[in-house]
Amino acid sequence: MSSHSKLFLTGLFVAGLLAAPALAFDFGRPATLEEIKLWDIDVGPDGKGLPDGSGTAVQGKQVFSDNCAVCHGENGQGGIKDRLAGGQGTLASSMPVKTVGSFWPYATTLYDYIHRAMPYPTPGSLSIDETYAVTAYILSLNGIIPADGKVDRESLPRIRMPNRDGFIPQPEFDPAKLFRKK
Amino acid sequence: MTFKAPVELLPRPANLSRRGFVGSLSAGILGAVATEAAGAETLADVPDRGPGADLSAHSDRSRFARIDRIPEATPGKRNVDPGDAINSKTPHQKLVGNITPTDLHYERSHSGVPDIDPAQHRLLIHGMVRKPLVFSVDDLKRMPSITRVVFIECTGNGWENWKKADPDLTVQNTHGLVSTNEWTGVPLKFLIDLVSKDKGSNWMLAEGGDGAGVDRSIPLTDEIMNEAFVAYGQNGEPLRPAHGFPMRLVMPGFEGNLNIKWLRRLKFGNAPWMTRWETARYTQLLADGKARQFQLRMETNSVITQPSGMMQIQPGDNRISGLAWSGHGRIAKVEISTDGARTWKQAQLSQPVLSKAQVRFQMDWVWDGKPTKIVSRSTDDQGNVQPDRQSFIAAMGTNALFHYNAQQTWSIDEAGRVRNVLA
């Protein structure tokens, strides 16, 4: 065997040793639990992902006034951006008004969206308790919880939104049937 | 002997002077590309040749070909201050061929365009996987790649014509939220293998690195597993920031909002997350007040772009041209009616006709100068036929706001003026 082919075989052997156990890590690097926690912000309809903490509608009124009213109006109406309250009973009319109270099927989505995207100029700037508080305030504006109501990770998934049954999945992608075993 | 330009040979309505005709050309509303204002009556009028401009680092469009998108706020609020715009529409009436120029690909963002340094950007893949991993842009570029021509369409495309047809709309206004580019990136399947996804995980959350953190739940059907990819290239260059630099999800055939831009996280789970985008936003409100959800696929569609809204045509030889596309697959045929949908003729398709990409269709037409309506109708290789407006509205009502794919009708009056109308 020539020295050249020996070298070649050795090279193959070494490459094999390196590649076999570490194949997945040839691209990227393992994510640590700590850093996943920093980015793992999504909240499911069952409340999975909601953090510890709580807020009341009364506290939320002030947070809303300071951070949200400039776009959405003082009471979640009449602002330059999406109307957040009212509209219940209008969805079948020629002028439907889609708000959190009239259209959104899950209260958990409200927490998730405020936390990830609002306030528009500084998303993520509200604390967990402030986010719960604004969520509570918007729900109270829609009469879904009382004006002195409070929400947290336990209560939010249990809230039944008025339009919870207002959605019909497109048959092709119906989550209830899509991956059922044939 | 007097010399006349060919256009002079055609009868022209008395109210349209040559000056007016040329003027409308320079405004760019007639023809695919705007031409210079002063025409050349004879070859002697054509300017002499001579040395041109210096070479440059990149090639700009001719100053005689002004082609711009239109920033827009809510329906009907056009040419707004860019700070108030929520999208910017492709000028289909000025384009030719199948591909949208990169800088004219429509733009829709939910919290502006982030200025991302690729050296600091990361993609996290986690959830129901054995090995959660973090990838850099360079990691992606070292992986096996694919390149594919794909249309991306905002689910709101066509939103101008749900309830009424404003006669002053151009095809840019009515259909400017769909574009086709060639995208390059890594198959989703390859990334899924790297992290060893749990077999029981059938849904994926894709999340962007924009201010809104736009996120969508994506069902991992066989079709999506085989076709989705994470793109870093667009028409031979890195993605433009407006289109997701440094990386985005490309979901061939599926609504624009699923093609998450500035992608920074993929999480695997076993149920949809019910994000704001798939509950409160991109769902179709039906006439009875119920809303259709997870209507993810873009439908069979087409539109005549030449001639189209706000153009003016002359009697005689005309070329009808437009674009057709389907989220179900390849366009099989496009038919054109020049008599208000009474009779139809099959158009030619410009090759290549690719699955889930826009294709140009064309047909010669001699206009007799009488008022009429022109309309196109596409059929894809799965047998889906683009619906006429009447049956479409009968099924969907006028409140759905998303996934409008009814046939588009343009009326032509006795002066050759082309206007937007409902069928």
Chain B, 284 to 313: residues with Cβ < 8 Å from chain A are 285-297
Interchain proximity B296–A167, CB inside 8 Å: no
**Residue B354 clears pLDDT 80, i.e. is over it:** yes
Note the helical H segments in A23-122.
33-39, 57-67, 69-72, 107-117
Confidence label for B1 from pLDDT (cuts 50, 70 and 90): very low
State in Å, rounded, how far the first CA of chain B is from the last one.
Answer: 48
Rounded Cα gap, residues B415 and A45, in angstroms: 58
Interchain proximity B219–A173, CB inside 8 Å: yes
Q: Give me the residue label for tokens 């905002």.
A: B154
Q: Which value does ipTM take for this structure? A: 0.88
Cβ–Cβ pairs < 8 A, chains A and B: 147
**Residue B33 clears pLDDT 80, i.e. is over it:** no
Of the candidates B266, B243, B233, the residue with the CA atom closest to the CA atom of residue B113: B243
Interchain proximity B279–A170, CB inside 8 Å: no
* CB neighbours of residue B175 within 10 Å: 30
Interchain proximity A36–B124, CB inside 8 Å: yes
Rounded Cα gap, residues B382 and B371, in angstroms: 35
Strand, helix or coil at A34? helix
Nearest by CB to residue B291, choosing from A28, A31, A166, is: A166
- Going by C-beta distance under 8 Å and a sequence separation of 6 or more, which residues neighbour residue A80? A71
Q: Residues B232-291: pLDDT tens digits?
A: 999 999 999 999 999 999 999 999 999 999 999 999 999 999 999 999 999 999 999 999
Distances (CA, A) of B263 to A17, B96, B222, B246: 34, 31, 22, 8
Max distance between CA atoms of chain A, in angstroms, equals: 87
B365 touches A: beta carbon within 8 Å: no
Residue B85's pLDDT is what? Answer: 85
DSSP string, A105-126: S-HHHHHHHHHHH-STTSTT-S
Interchain proximity B275–A109, CB inside 8 Å: yes
Rounded Cα gap, residues B147 and B233, in angstroms: 8
pLDDT values of chain A reduced to their tens digit, one per residue, 182 residues: 444 444 444 444 444 444 444 454 589 999 999 999 999 999 999 999 999 999 999 999 999 999 999 999 999 999 999 999 999 999 999 999 999 999 999 999 999 999 999 999 999 999 999 999 999 999 999 999 999 999 999 999 999 999 999 999 999 999 999 998 65
Residue B302's pLDDT is what? Answer: 98
Q: Residues B303-345: pLDDT tens digits?
A: 999 999 999 999 999 999 999 999 999 999 999 999 999 999 9
Three-class HEC string of B131-185: CCEEECHHHHHHCCCEEEEEEEECCCCCHHHCCCCCCCCCHHHHHCCEEEEEEEE
Residue B72's pLDDT is what? Answer: 85
Question: Which of B80, B265, B294, B396 to probe by mutation at the A interface, max A CB count within 10 Å?
Answer: B294
Residue B288's pLDDT is what? Answer: 97
Higher pLDDT, A128 or B82: A128
Rounded Cα gap, residues B202 and A148, in angstroms: 40
- Going by C-beta distance under 8 Å and a sequence separation of 6 or more, which residues neighbour residue A144? A101, A107, A159, A161, A162
Of the candidates B101, B96, B39, B104, the residue with the CA atom closest to the CA atom of residue B71: B104
Tell me what the pLDDT averaged over chain B comes to: 91
Structure tokens at B157: 């495309």
State in Å, rounded, how far the first CA of chain A is from the last one.
Answer: 57
Q: Give me the residue label for tokens 């009471």.
A: A75
Contacts with A169 from chain B: Cβ below 8 Å: 292-294
B207 touches A: beta carbon within 8 Å: yes
Q: B87-89 and A29-30 as β-strands: parallel, antiparallel, unpaired?
A: unpaired
- Going by C-beta distance under 8 Å and a sequence separation of 6 or more, which residues neighbour residue B174? B158, B160, B161, B303, B309, B408, B420
Interchain proximity B205–A174, CB inside 8 Å: no
Interchain proximity B139–A28, CB inside 8 Å: yes
Residue A181's pLDDT is what? Answer: 64
Q: Residues B162-203: pLDDT tens digits?
A: 999 999 999 999 999 999 999 999 999 999 999 999 999 999
Of the candidates B28, B26, B32, B24, the residue with the CA atom closest to the CA atom of residue B305: B32
Q: Give me the residue label for tokens 């060919």.
A: B6
Q: Which amino acid, B107? A: E
**Residue B80 clears pLDDT 70, i.e. is over it:** yes
Mean pLDDT for B85-113 is 96
Rounded Cα gap, residues B209 and B303, in angstroms: 34
* CB neighbours of residue B292 within 10 Å: 18
Residue B73's pLDDT is what? Answer: 84
Rounded Cα gap, residues A135 and A145, in angstroms: 10
A178 touches B: beta carbon within 8 Å: yes
Residue B376's pLDDT is what? Answer: 98
Of the candidates B127, B295, B275, the residue with the CA atom closest to the CA atom of residue B201: B127
Interchain proximity B133–A108, CB inside 8 Å: no
Nearest by CB to residue B132, choosing from A30, A41, A42, is: A30
User: What letter does residue B222 receive in the DSSP assignment?
Assistant: H
Residue B76's pLDDT is what? Answer: 66
**Residue B88 clears pLDDT 50, i.e. is over it:** yes
Residue B423's pLDDT is what? Answer: 86
* CB neighbours of residue B310 within 10 Å: 22
* CB neighbours of residue B99 within 10 Å: 17
Residue B23's pLDDT is what? Answer: 36
The pTM (predicted TM-score) of the whole model is 0.89
Interchain proximity B292–A94, CB inside 8 Å: no
Nearest by CB to residue B276, choosing from A113, A166, A179, is: A113
